Every structure is written in structure tokens, then in C-alpha cells.
Chains A and B, each alone.
Chain A
Amino acid sequence: MRIFWILLKKELHSFFVSPVAYVVLALVMVLNGFAFRAALSVLENAPSEGSIVSWTFHALWFWLSYFFIFPLLTMRLFAEEKKMGTLETLFTAPVRAWQVVGSKYLAAVIVYCVLWLPSLINFKFAHWITAGQVELPSGAMGGAYLILVVMGMFNLAIGCFASALTSNQIVAAIISFTISLLHFLLGIFIMVVGRKISDTIVDIVNYFAATEHIRIFTAGLIDSRPIIYYLSMSLLFLSFTHHVVEFRRWRP
């Protein structure tokens, strides 16, 4: 466990020493600002059932940031070390593969959580400046941030896996981007053809669709199924990553 913390510290260090964390943070803040503005203008024009939280996370701006975060945070995790050869130095120190995979993943999750902190300020600020007229329902707030975190964990695990597969950061980024995009498009697919196909298929697709999860959770409805889905998938992809990293040590 001691080794794990040392590695985690080092991973966080390389996130915050390199410009990566700051560039992504800036990008997310800008896009979030647009999403927030879009939500405000919806509420301004007509009375609405949705809260400002749910409108913010329904804005296309939010989804734009959603696609870019994961590849940017995870592409360098393993690919860079492979390219530089430092994976060799790392694995000839007395460290175990799970410690390396776990620390890299956890560091990415921590940075990811930090990215969403500024959006909290947006909400609090709107609430405060309108003297409470913009409501922040605790269910919507809790649900939204909960689903953001678990969805992030899932996508980061995929990104981690993609990065472990290759020594090229661009390839890793594209794999992780594609998977996040497909995940989002499932929801769009239902929106477009939902009425023409059977309800069973709609239900199955909705079970996986990120947009659907956001819709439910930002309405303040906390459903355990997506949480279990995302967490178990994260574990699955982390174990894949572990296998890829350990593969080097396999004996025929």
C-alpha cells in the first residue's frame, strides 16, 4: 500500500506539473460556462419543470467537454511511459502491476473530479445572485455529480486500457474518444428512431445510454442500476488493463 501512495503522488505530480491538467481544466471551464449560460437562457424565456442543474447537463456544450476530457486525461498514462522507456525502469523496481495500474487510474479520477469543481461555483453563484430564485434542488445536485463521477470512472478506465494497448498517445486518445462518442450516440439513436422500434430494444439501449443516465440523475432520481453498470464496467476495463500490463510477464 505504501508503494501505491508513492506512485499515486508521482502520477498526480506529473498531471499538475505538466500543462495537461490545466489545459483540460480551462477547456472544461469554458464549455461549462457556455452550458450554464444556455441553461440560464432556457429558464429566462419560459417557466420550466427542469432545474438549472438538469438544463446545464443537457446542453450540447456539456457533451462536448464530456468527449474531450477522457482522452486528454488518459492518453499519456501508459503510452508515454512506453514510448520513453520509463515503463522498464518502473517495472524493474519492486512494484506490482496492480499498484501501477491502480495509481495511474486513481490519479486520473482525482484530476477528473477536480475538473467539475468550478461548475459548482457557477450554480452556487446563480443561487446567491438571484437571492434563491434559481433553485438548486439537492436531489438534482447530488444525482448529477454522482452520475458524473461514476460515468467518469467508467470512461477513464476505458482510456487507461486504450493507453496500455499502445505506445502512441494519439492512438490511445482516438480509441477512448470513439468509445465515449459511441456511448453518447446510443442515446441520440433512441431519440431519432425510438418510435419506430420495439420497446424492449429501447429499454436495452437506454440501459447503456449516457444521455439517459444524465436525464434521470439530474432530475434527482438516483437509480442504482447505472451506478452498478458503470462501476462494474470500470473494474472490468481495469482488469483488462492489468492483464495488458502483466502480459509482458506472461510465460508461454
Chain B
Amino acid sequence: MIDVQELTKQYAGRTAVNNISFQVEPGEIVGFLGPNGAGKSTTMRILSGYMPATSGRVNVGGFDVFHQSIQVRQSVGYMPENAPLYADMRVKEYLRFRAELKGLSGLTMRRRIGEVMDLTGVTDMRKRLIGNLSKGYRQRVALADALVHKPKLLILDEPTNGLDPVQIRQVRDLLRNLKSKHTVLLSTHILHEVEQTCDRVIMIHQGRIRANDTPANLTRQLRSTTLLHLEIDGIGNLAEKLSAITAVRKTTEEPLLVHPWRHFTLRVEPDHDIRDEVMELAMQQKWRIREMHRQLPTLEDVFVELSMNAGTPTDIPTHVL
């Protein structure tokens, strides 16, 4: 559906996207993830035919985005960041205008507008001026616009930005339902969203792709350590004994909670499960354990790690994260 080859985009003196390549297969939901200014929006704007690339080839649905821009735009539903809309139009009027522009007409158009308004939950707002709508409703109107011509590919730039948790959940469900009919490329910096919705994640940072894999694989490959939380009742230097277990990197004792319970946090090498060893040790030493909890790294850790470690000394500082 999307084939990006060695795409580079330079703005006056600044490289926004640096030689990236990736593919998206039909029917996939792909999350585009990265900190602000990573090059997500730039890539999406190029994909949607709004801006040309400085170099590289981009193919969307078999059409070249530069040379066959009109065909590409017909098969793409694009929702720009912050959902820009005409404030002086009413919701239904706006969707009608957009549907006409995208080549719909007559009864099919009216039916389709009704459908997308139901789908995005703006039917009750159809006669309201867009300028008077809340941010959440505007996002939904923009989404309805992106959907109205049944595009093969949906490109959504931060579709849940500015929504409340309930609305975010609604959008997420909507995207999952769309999966059967559309290919979706969405950008976000909310990691939770990607973990829940996407088949695949492309992490982009400082214009380069840092990772391209399923959310599960990404967290598995993570170099970050797993954490093991323990609450033990025992006497003596427990930390030393715990540290003796091979895969443990570091043991820290938290302040005492309730006597005699002591709380330890162990940093464990990735891909090691030491819970059995801890149990054996506890039995040997006659410790009592009332809590043992293993905390796996989340996508968030991957994200932070990739963003923090990827930079070379000349790169822009990443403290903005």
C-alpha cells in the first residue's frame, strides 16, 4: 500500500527526514511514533501529496506521490495535525463540500455522509457551526472528512491529540473497526495508544527510523532491564544475598514499610526470569515473602531508550522528551 524508498526531506538548512525506507501492507494498522519534531508530520505530509520530498521515491497504492498526485490524493484520506477546518461552515455542509471535492455526488454522497457522521458520532452536531464545536468534535469531523470517500489508505496525524480518555477510547475502537476496509497509518506520541491499536510500530527520531516491528517484539528486544519487586521478612543483609543471584544487576532496598516487611527492587538482565531462584533462596534462608512482582518493560521504555541513546554528540539534545 505504501512503499517509501530512501526518502529525504530538507527544509532550508535542516534535515527533517533523513533517508528513511519502509513499507506498509494493505490492511495493516501502522503506528508512527516519535517525539515532537521527529519528522512524523513531514513524512505524512509527503505521503498525502501535500509536499514533495527532497529526494527518494514514495509510492502510495501504486501511484507515485509526486507525478500522480491527484490519483494518490483520491485514494488517501488524510487528517492533518490539529484538524484544521473551516470555522464558518456547519458540520454537514462541510462534509458535503469535502465529499463533492473528492468526487462523490447525489444519493451515494448523502448516504455516505450519514454513514461517516454516525461512525464518528457527530450526527447530533450536524447543524452546528464548526467554529463553535469543542476540540474533540472537531477532531471527529476531520476524521469523518478523511473517511468520507472510502479511501484505501487513511493517514491520521495525531488523531487523538486533545481528546479526553473516553474519546480516545472511542477513536481507538473506531480505528480497530476500520481495519477490515482500510489501511491505516497513524502518528502519535501516546505509546499506550500504539500498544493497543497497531499491528506494527515505526519509531522515528531525528528524521531516522530507529525501530520497525510489532509492539510485542519491540518490548522483547529491549535492552532495558526487567524489574522485580519483593517484600520480604528476613533478618541480615538481604540485599547482598539477593545480589548473589547471577542475573541480578542491582538491588536497592526501599525504606521500611511496616515492620518486619522490607521492600527490595531488583534490576534483572533482560530475558531472565529469576523468580524461582528467589523462591529457593528464600526457602533456604527461611525468609517469608508476601509479594513478588515482575515488571516488564513497556513500549514507553523502548521509546525513551531509543530517543535518549540514539543521538550522536552533535545531535540536538533530547531533554525535550
Contacts and interface: CB of A to CB of B under 8 A. Distances in A.
B31 interface: no
B101 A93 contact: yes
Interface stretch (A83-91, A207-215, A228-236): A83-91
Contacts of B101: 3, 6-7, 93-95
Contact of A85 (B49, B80, B102): B80
A249 B103 contact: no
Contacts of B277: none
B239 interface: no
A252 B54 contact: yes
A95 B208 CA distance: 31
A200 interface: no
B83 to A, nearest CB: 9
Nearest to B97: A10
Interface in A187-205: none
B76 interface: yes
A141 B103 CA distance: 44
B52 A94 contact: no
B54 A14 contact: no
A69 to B, nearest CB: 21
Chain A interface size, under 10 / 10 to 19 / 20 to 34 / 35 or more: 20 to 34
A133 interface: no
B88 A88 contact: no
Interface string B227-241: 000000000000000
Nearest to A17: B88
B80 A92 contact: yes
B45 interface: yes
B216 interface: no
Interface of B: 45, 48-54, 66, 69-71, 73-74, 76, 78, 80, 82, 84-89, 97-98, 100-103, 142, 145
Given A18-B88, A251-B52, A251-B54, 8 more contacts: A3-B101, A7-B101, A86-B86, A88-B80, A89-B78, A89-B80, A93-B98, A250-B52
A96 interface: yes
Nearest to B105: A2
Contacts, number: 66
A248 interface: yes
Interface in A1-53: 3, 6-7, 10, 13-14, 17-18
A89 B73 contact: no
A7 B88 CA distance: 15
Given A18-B88, A89-B80, A94 B51 contact: no
Contacts of A91: 49-50
Contacts of A13: 89
Contacts of A86: 84-86
Nearest to B49: A92
A18 B97 CA distance: 17
Contact of A89 (B49, B54, B85): B85
A89 B66 contact: no
B55 to A, nearest CB: 9
Contacts of B49: 91-92
Nearest to B78: A92
Contacts of A18: 88
Interface in A52-93: 84-86, 88-89, 91-93
A21 to B, nearest CB: 12
B84 A88 contact: yes
> Which 5 pairs, one residue from A and one from B, show the smallest C-beta to C-beta distance?
A85-B84, A94-B73, A92-B78, A93-B101, A86-B84
A89 to B, nearest CB: 6
A95 B74 CA distance: 9
Contacts of B87: 84
